[in-house]
Amino acid sequence: MPISAATTKITDYVDVNKKMADLCCRYPERMALLPINFESATSIAELLQASEAATIKKLLVAEGLPFDDIVDRHQRPPYVKNKNFEWVPPVLFVSASLYSQNPELVSVALNILANYATDFFKGMRGAHEVSLNIVVEKKNKTYKKIVYQGPIEGLKDLVEVIREVGNE
């Protein structure tokens, strides 16, 4: 199996607190999944979520991780489904209080994502590369986006990246 190199980019992200208020969504105090067009959407009706969002959410909840929905059930955004073979997870939001008080839960979440991605690629040839976007709330209430692209095995290393970004 070809081995691919991992890349991790860190960029500024919109003020999630303000954006949630603008869109009439609930601000997540713990862990959440953000719609893929969260930054650009101008109303709640425009929001779209990754097709894997439903699966990732139920896997996180099943493991007892502290998870917040940002909208009510009847407001759930539609899913974007591209019928090509790639693993496109939703944007994972990690609050400052979560990683500072329970950093091990972030590690558990990344393990869950890694295990699910491993299952997804089972029996498929080629480089099993994943991309994952994580939005981290910093202690000063600004936000950074971590964009990871690389092999599944590299997901576990993001725990340290999240810690460093959060404590900047």
Partner 1 sequence: MSDPVPAFVTEFNKIVGECATFRYITRDSELQKVACTKLRDLLAQIETEKESARASGNENYANLLLGCNCVADGLISEIEMWLLLKEGRPDQAWDALVAAQSNLSSAMRAHGGFVRIEDSIRQLDALERLIFPPQVFLSSGMIVKSQICSICGQEYEDCEHVKGRPYMGTFCTVTLIPSAVDHVAIVESPANKRCRIVKFTDAGGSRNRMTWVLEPTDNADKEAAESRTAEGIFAISTPSEDNTEKDITFVE
Q: Which residues bind partner 1 (CB under 8 A)?
A: 48, 51, 53-55, 57-59, 62, 73, 76, 78-86, 119-120, 122-126
CB of 84 to partner 1, least distance (A): 4
CB of 57 to partner 1, least distance (A): 7
Cα distance between residue 37 and residue 48, in whole Å: 6
CB of 65 to partner 1, least distance (A): 15
Cα distance between residue 68 and residue 71, in whole Å: 9
CB of 88 to partner 1, least distance (A): 11
CB of 18 to partner 1, least distance (A): 27
Cα distance between residue 118 and residue 111, in whole Å: 10
83 or 140: CB nearest partner 1: 83
6 or 80: CB nearest partner 1: 80
14 or 48: CB nearest partner 1: 48
11 or 85: CB nearest partner 1: 85
69 or 96: CB nearest partner 1: 69
* CA-to-CA separations, 34 to 54, 74, 83, 149, in angstroms, rounded: 12, 16, 21, 18
Is the CA virtual torsion 98, 100, 105, 107 positive or negative?
A: positive
The answer to whether the CB of 90 falls within 8 A of the CB of 37 is no
| 129-137 and 91-94 strand pairing | parallel
* CA-to-CA separations, 134 to 2, 60, 73, in angstroms, rounded: 26, 15, 23
